[in-house]
Amino acid sequence: MVFDCFMAITKEEFNLIRQFVHEHSGILIGDGKEYLVENRLNVILVQSKCDNFFQLHEKLKKDGGPLCIEVIDAMTTNETLWFRDTSFFTSLSNFVIPALLEKALSKPKVRIWSAACSTGQEPYSVAMLLDQARGAMGKGAPPLDRFAILATDISPSVLSIARTGRYSQLAISRGMRAAFLERFFVHHGSSYEVAPAIRGIVTFRQFNLKESFGSLGLFDFILCRNVLIYFSNELKSEIYHKLHQSLEKDGMLSIGASESPRGYTTVFEQIMVDGAALYRPSAHSG
């Protein structure tokens, strides 16, 4: 589609739109980011036949459904890659995964949640490492279907990519290891598809971290990585408490390298493994 006009946003419209985005997703759009809103929402503005951002905001107030989802989707930042953050994935291989394999020997399901999974690289990376570690364990290893990975995101467009399990050469080149590519993907022309066994333990679902986590149940391991940075301090604090309530007593949490619960809650204690911080419910947190 070719657009013959690019609509600039006024200060007042910018404030209305960023308030709307914050209310519905928790995402904070900082001062001076008018260009971001303009760039990401101009297509939607034209498609929804609005003459300006004020009209778009009026429609959003009335719509509450598909248009709202489309706008929030466009305002998310979905940067991700395979095995993102070497220290974290080393700690996963050396510490978290052995503990989860051990648990799977005595538990019918070990539950993992990738809470802002973007296009799926994070949950699939975890599933591949689990299967590799299982293979190394030999005969006594628990079957792969003892593990269930729930992968959620607010953005329907990233989830639709994640569900296909298909990635371009470019996406693969961003962190995928050669041995894992060989072992866990089926090559289809110019793209690579995650093998059925790996896809079989990952379930994708649209979920907004602003909602109650009550319906999700308890998890043995939660990854909530590189998403809290977009939220207000108040929402970070709320989400840390909800994450704590969603963890099994002996569960573990991983957050992004630039994120920390310090100053938001005392319900977690930090453990450092291979240079990466992991969090578990602190003894006094109940």
Distance of CA 200 to the CA centre of its chain: 19
Min CB(122)–ligand SAM separation in Å: 5
Part in contact with ligand SAM (CB under 6 A); list of ranges 173-181, 184-192, 206-214, 262-270: 206-214
CB-wise, 50 or 130, nearer to ligand SAM?
Answer: 130
What 3-state DSSP class applies to 148? strand
| Residues 258 and 279: beta-carbon distance below 8 Å | no
Q: Does 225 bind ligand SAM (CB under 6 A)?
A: yes
| Residues 37 and 49: beta-carbon distance below 8 Å | no
Rounded to the nearest 10°, the torsion over CA 117, 180, 165, 149 is -50
| Residues 203 and 112: beta-carbon distance below 8 Å | no
Q: Does 76 bind ligand SAM (CB under 6 A)?
A: yes
Q: Does 246 bind ligand SAM (CB under 6 A)?
A: no
CB-wise, 55 or 93, nearer to ligand SAM?
Answer: 93
Q: Does 70 bind ligand SAM (CB under 6 A)?
A: no
Min CB(74)–ligand SAM separation in Å: 10
Min CB(73)–ligand SAM separation in Å: 8
Q: Does 26 bind ligand SAM (CB under 6 A)?
A: yes
Q: Where are the beta strands (DSSP E) in 160-218?
A: 166-168, 185-188, 191-194, 202-206
Q: Does 222 bind ligand SAM (CB under 6 A)?
A: no
Min CB(238)–ligand SAM separation in Å: 11
Contacts (CB under 6 A) with ligand SAM, residues 123-182: 153-155, 158
Q: Does 21 bind ligand SAM (CB under 6 A)?
A: no
| Residues 80 and 114: beta-carbon distance below 8 Å | no
- Terminal alpha carbon distance of the chain: 55
What 3-state DSSP class applies to 48? coil
Min CB(225)–ligand SAM separation in Å: 4
| Residues 117 and 152: beta-carbon distance below 8 Å | yes
Largest CA-CA distance found in the chain, in angstroms, rounded: 65
Query: How many residues interact with ligand SAM (rule CB under 6 A)?
Result: 23
User: Which member of 91, 118, 125, 265 binds ligand SAM (CB under 6 A)?
Assistant: 118
CB-wise, 26 or 165, nearer to ligand SAM?
Answer: 26
Sign of CA dihedral 35, 37, 39, 43: negative
Binding site for ligand SAM (CB under 6 A): 25-27, 76-80, 84, 116, 118, 122, 153-155, 158, 208-210, 225-227, 230
